Every structure is written in C-alpha cells, then in structure tokens.
Amino acid sequence: MPNQPVAVGPHRCGAGQPLLFICGPCVIESRDLVMRVAESLVGTAQRAGLQFVFKSSFDKANRTSLHSFRGPGLEQGLAILDEVRRTFDVPVTTDIHLPEHAEPAAAVCRILQIPAFLARQTDLIAAAAEAAARQGGVINVKKPQFVAPEDLVHAVRKCEEAGCRDILLTERGTTFGYGRLVNDLQCIPIMQSFGTPVIFDATHSVQRPGGSTTGGARQFVATLARAAVAAGADGVFLETHPDPDQAQSDGPNQLPLADIPRLLEQLVEQRALFQRWTAGEA
C-alpha cells in the first residue's frame, strides 16, 4: 500500500493533515521572476503557517505551437529551482516528460510531477518512481483528462512496483466535449480509496483547450478550489503570476500573485471545517 500520510520534506499530506499547497508560475520565464514569486509565496506561507511546495516548469513540452515559449530547459531550469530550494528552504517540484529527466530532477525536486497527458507512459512513471525512491522523494501523478478516476490505480501500482510508495494523485478536470473541462468531485474520494492523498489542481481545471493558444477562466479558480477542499482534497495546486495577462504560458488560468494570500486563508478555514465534519464534531 502507498504511504499515508506522505512526507514531503518537513510537511505531511493526507488524511487528518493540514492542506499542502503547491504553487508557483506555470513556467520558468526568468530567474528574477521565479525568485520574486517564490519570495512572495514563502512569505505568505510562513506568516500563515502553511505547508508549501514551490512549483514551476523548466519545459512546457505540450505547447500548441512549435514557436511558443517553452522555458529554459532542464539544466538551467533545475539550477533555478535548486536556488529557490536553497535560498528559501522549501521543497520544490517540477514536471518531467522523459525518463532521462527523472534522475537529475529528483536530485533537486522533492516531488516529481507526471503530466496528465503522460500518466499512462509506463517508462516515464517507472523511471520517476525509481529516482524518487533513491532520493527520498515523492511522485505526483496527474489524472489524465480522458481517464476515469478508478483507472488511475494502475499508475499507483506502477509506482509501487518500481519502488516508490510516496505517491500523490492530482485531479485536474475531465474532457467534456471540445474545448471544455469539468470537475467530477467524486474523483477525490475515489482516488483516495487507493490509499493516496489527492491534490486538486484548481488552475488547470479552468483551462479552455483548443485554438491557437489555450484559454482559461481564472474567475472560477477560487470557486473550484473551495469546492474541492469541501469534498476532502488533501492539497491544492495553484499556478500564479504577478501579471497573468503577460505570462508566457497559461496566463488565462493563472491567478494574480496578489490574490493568493486571501484564497489560501479561505481554504485553510475550509479544511479545518471539513476535518470537524469528518470527526463528527460539527
């Protein structure tokens, strides 16, 4: 069985634990931007006593256009994430896309994220799980938009068989026709039934896929995040940017950095209420 709760550096994620927040800009646009956002988020987390992991991508490998900005690449991107980790003493995470990314990423990142479109790739999951196990890290598998929650148990079993029992699963919406995602909150308890904590990705859930660039509806991020925490999600994934309309990737579904503190405060309050409900105290 997977470990429950899951240790993420100094944090604990799972049943009966505080929320784990995974936040940061979608892609590493520059060192200066990443350090600025990290400093703001770390300050918010420290003031409120939150469990926080910093996230950003070194490569957006699934961009619609060949000419879209993808990020600085593996070597430079990991160097920037390592600077965040050392400067602010926080766990960091990034997504990987190829088996050969697993080992160098696991040396820096406490969590290795498997993108939703790649969550059926056995070689990638096995390499990530083996690397994470060697480094004392965690695997976070995002549920594909085209897969039923029950079927993500196979990804969990692959991780376990490859030697990693510290596993998170993430709900990030399900394809509903063309150009729209919907969230079935039954996914949260279903995936928790595998013994894994479940994270809710509120920003990718409001994506509007299709067209020359991916759209989004950030005005619904807070609504969905609150609904997911009320349904028992163990953590929340949020992408944020100082000026989302100028972001080089996924701007329409990123939250303004200034809006993050209030939303996290609301979600912490909801988590406390949910825990009272489940303990029979409310």
**Dist CA 180 CA 174 (whole Å):** 8
pLDDT digits (tens, 9 = 90+) for 59-115: 987 755 565 678 899 999 999 999 999 999 999 999 999 999 999 999 999 999 999
Q: Output phi, psi for 63, to 5 deg.
A: -65, 150
pLDDT digits (tens, 9 = 90+) for 124-137: 999 999 999 999 99
Q: For residue 182, what are the CA distances in angstroms to 37, 173, 186, 205, 228? A: 29, 5, 12, 7, 13
Residue 184 pLDDT > 90:
yes
pLDDT digits (tens, 9 = 90+) for 9-62: 999 999 999 999 999 999 999 999 999 999 999 999 999 999 999 999 999 877
Q: Is 220 helix (H, G, I), strand (E, B) or coil?
A: helix
Residue 120 domain-assigned (yes or no)? yes
Structure tokens at 68: 């879209």
Please report, for the domain that includes residue 146, its CATH number. Answer: 3.20.20.70
Residue 212 pLDDT > 60:
no
This prediction's pTM: 0.95
Residue 104 domain-assigned (yes or no)? yes
Residue 254 domain-assigned (yes or no)? yes
What does the pLDDT read at residue 67? 57
Q: Could you tell me which residue, 251 or 243, shows the higher pLDDT?
A: 243
Residue numbers of the domain that contains 177? 6-278
Neighbours of 131 (CB within 10 A): 25
pLDDT digits (tens, 9 = 90+) for 136-160: 999 999 999 999 999 999 999 999 9
Of all residues in the chain, the percent with pLDDT exceeding 90 is 85
Angle between helix 74-88 and helix 31-48 axes, rounded to 10 deg: 30
The strand pair at 11-13 and 6-8 is best described as: antiparallel
**Dist CA 161 CA 118 (whole Å):** 18
Confidence of residue 279 (pLDDT cuts 50, 70, 90): confident
Residue 259 domain-assigned (yes or no)? yes
Residue 1 domain-assigned (yes or no)? no
Number of domains in the chain: 1
